[in-house]
Chain A
Amino acid sequence: MASDKVTILTDGTFEQTINGEKPVLVDFWAEWCGPCRRLAPTVEELANDYNGRVVVAKMNVDENPSTPMRFSIRGIPTLLLFKSGQLVEQVVGLADKDSLKKLIDKHVA
């Protein structure tokens, strides 16, 4: 049940996306990562809940090595939240929807 509300990011589109007007939540994941698969439905729910207010995006670390390297990501799932191109929050590993919402709400009017 992949949601069309989740933006697929690549190394090529990353910079432009995070510098957009809305905050951007990026889920760094890979096919072989079990916890990433568990987090995926939560990320999709967030994309629905924050539709129009926050860009919720996913980046496959297998296909896009440079962005994870730039942020020293050595563990997935990792969620990064950007506002006006700046990194404002990061969450390593699994997290429940409530705590993620609290984190996002700090940066969303």
Chain B
Amino acid sequence: MLRNVVVIGSGPAGLTAALYAARANLNPLVIEGLEAGGQLMLTTLVENWPGYRDGIMGPDLMGEMRAQAERFGAEILRGHVTAVDMQSAPFKVTTSDASYETRTLVIATGASARLLGIPSERSLLGHGVSTCATCDGYFFRGKPIAVVGGGDTAMEEAIFLTRFASSVTVIHRRDTLRASKVMQVKAFANPKITFEWNAEVEDMTDVSRGEVDGVSIRNLVTGERKVIPVEGIFVAIGHTPNTSLFKGQLEMDANGYLITHSGSKTSIPGVFACGDVQDHVYRQAVTAAGSGCMAAIDAEKYLEGVPQHLGKTTETVNDELRTMK
């Protein structure tokens, strides 16, 4: 069966694209991906989603978006895309269980938490090193922990973790936070949170025991080194776009973000991108949802203008052309 629209990803961008495509009677298929629901699934209260004056829990918001897309006929499939072939239309999307052919493709694969990239961090992941406060904060009741990063996510994690931890040390490379003012005010007012400014993480210990007992930092201004005894280290230094599937097929920038133009168009006609996979500037749930809407409308317009031969093989088209003569 040849699909009109396949959406890869199920965060705010993917589900909004699915909602609009479904309401345009395009019967979209959404392939959820490993991190189904996207980054909001790992957050707690979302206070900047318009329409909810008291905020809404991230997982609840995603549950609503999903139900809304399904209500209008979007088909949502649990699965993880392992390969995408966009060399010729129809495009072919392969998961571990099946493969799908589609006239248009909406890429909403988002971005995943980035790690610092030091060897000890990788081996201590799950044993004190974490990228998800809401998942792992529970394990650090009454214990000192550190949060690495200075953006909104880092502040949100730090504030959330004060529910469990005895103390939270924020380690940040600069002398000011990148986080929004409202998050900064909350973090500075929290008596459990202290800051290590201009500090870079050099190492995490203790790899031989398989448990975190400290983080070694170096002050980038004074050069001074010290070890902070902590039992947990939460890394919140930003995200990397999930674009490895599209390498060599779609135009991307130096950091791997898909490049879009005139709305949500990628370098291949019929392939559209939305959400964090193509946005390293705004990265908000509401901007992701907005761009998901754009991708669905762009896909709909593309399908209206698409010649009938798309979706047929070259041989069939040539045969048809021959008979027409």
Contact of A103 with B by CB under 8 A = no
- B232 (CB) vs chain A CBs: closest residue: A74
CB contact between B80 and one of A30, A78, A93, A96 (< 8 Å): that residue: A96
Contact with B along A50-79 (1 / 0, CB 8 A): 000000000001100000100011111010
B residues near A36, Cβ cutoff 8 Å: 135
Q: Which of chain A's residues has its CB closest to B143's CB?
A: A74
Q: Give the CA-CA distance A93 to B139 in the complex, in Å.
A: 15
Residue pair B96, A75 in contact (C-beta under 8 Å):
no
Give complex CA distance A78, B126 in Å. 7
Collect the chain B residues with CB atoms within 8 Å of residue A33's CB.
134-135
Cβ-based interface call for B289 (8 A): no
User: Is B36 engaged at the interface, CB distance under 8 Å to the other chain?
Assistant: yes
Query: Which of A41, A74, A96, A97 sits near B136, CB closer than 8 Å?
Result: A74
B127 at the binding interface (Cβ < 8 Å): yes
Q: Is there a chain A Cβ closer than 8 Å to B75's Cβ?
A: no
Asked whether, in the complex, the Cβ of B127 is within 8 Å of the Cβ of A74, the reply is yes
Decide if B78 is an interface residue (CB 8 Å cutoff).
yes
Residues of chain B in range 183-228 having any CB-CB distance to chain A below 8 Å: 210-212
**Interface flag for B132 (CB, 8 Å):** yes
Shortest Cβ distance from A80 into chain B, in angstroms?
10
Shortest distance in angstroms between A104's beta carbon and chain B's nearest beta carbon?
14
Q: A34-B59, A73-B127, A94-B35 are in contact. Are A41 and B78 (CB under 8 A)?
A: yes
A14-52 near B? 1/0 per residue, CB < 8 Å: 000000000000000010111110100100000000000
CB < 8 Å neighbour of A75 from B41, B78, B135: B135
> How far apart sit A33 and B7, CA to CA, in the bound complex (Å)?
26
Give B124-163 interface residues, CB cut-off 8 Å to A.
Answer: 125-130, 132, 134-136, 138-140
- Say whether B82 contacts A98, CB under 8 Å: yes
List chain B residues, Cβ under 8 A from A8.
Answer: none
In the assembled complex, the Cα of A72 lies from the Cα of B139 at a distance in Å of 10
Q: Please determine whether A93 and B125 come into contact, CB atoms closer than 8 angstroms.
A: yes
Out of B41, B78, B127, B212, which one reaches A35, CB within 8 Å?
Answer: B41
B154 to chain A, nearest CB (A): 18
Task: Decide if B34 is an interface residue (CB 8 Å cutoff).
Answer: yes
Chain A residues near B37 (CB, 8 Å)? 34, 38
- The residue on A at minimum CB distance from B36 is A38
Residues of the B chain whose Cβ atoms lie less than 8 Å from the Cβ of A62: 138
Q: Which residue of A lies closest to B124 (CB)?
A: A74
Q: Is B139 a contact partner of A74 (Cβ separation < 8 A)?
A: yes
Q: Are A75 and B34 in contact (CB under 8 A)?
A: no
Does the CB pair A97–B135 fall under 8 Å?
Answer: no
**Bound complex: CA of A13 vs CA of B231, how far in Å?**
29
Q: A88 on the interface (CB 8 Å rule)?
A: no
Task: Tell me if A76 and B136 are in contact (CB < 8 A).
Answer: yes
For the complex, give the distance between the alpha carbons of A43 and B109 in Å.
23
Asked whether any CB of chain A lies closer than 8 Å to the CB of B297, the reply is no
- B126 to chain A minimum Cβ distance, whole angstroms, is 3
Q: What residues of A have a CB within 8 angstroms of the CB of B42 in the complex?
A: 34-35
| 11 A–B pairs (Cβ distance < 8 Å), ordered by A | A32-B134, A33-B134, A34-B42, A34-B59, A34-B134, A73-B126, A74-B128, A74-B139, A75-B136, A90-B126, A95-B34
Residue positions of A touching B, CB distance < 8 A? 30, 32-36, 38, 41, 61-62, 68, 72-76, 78, 90, 92-98
What 11 new A-B contacts, CB under 8 Å, besides A30-B138, A96-B34?
A: A34-B42, A36-B135, A72-B127, A72-B128, A74-B140, A75-B130, A75-B139, A90-B126, A93-B126, A94-B34, A97-B96
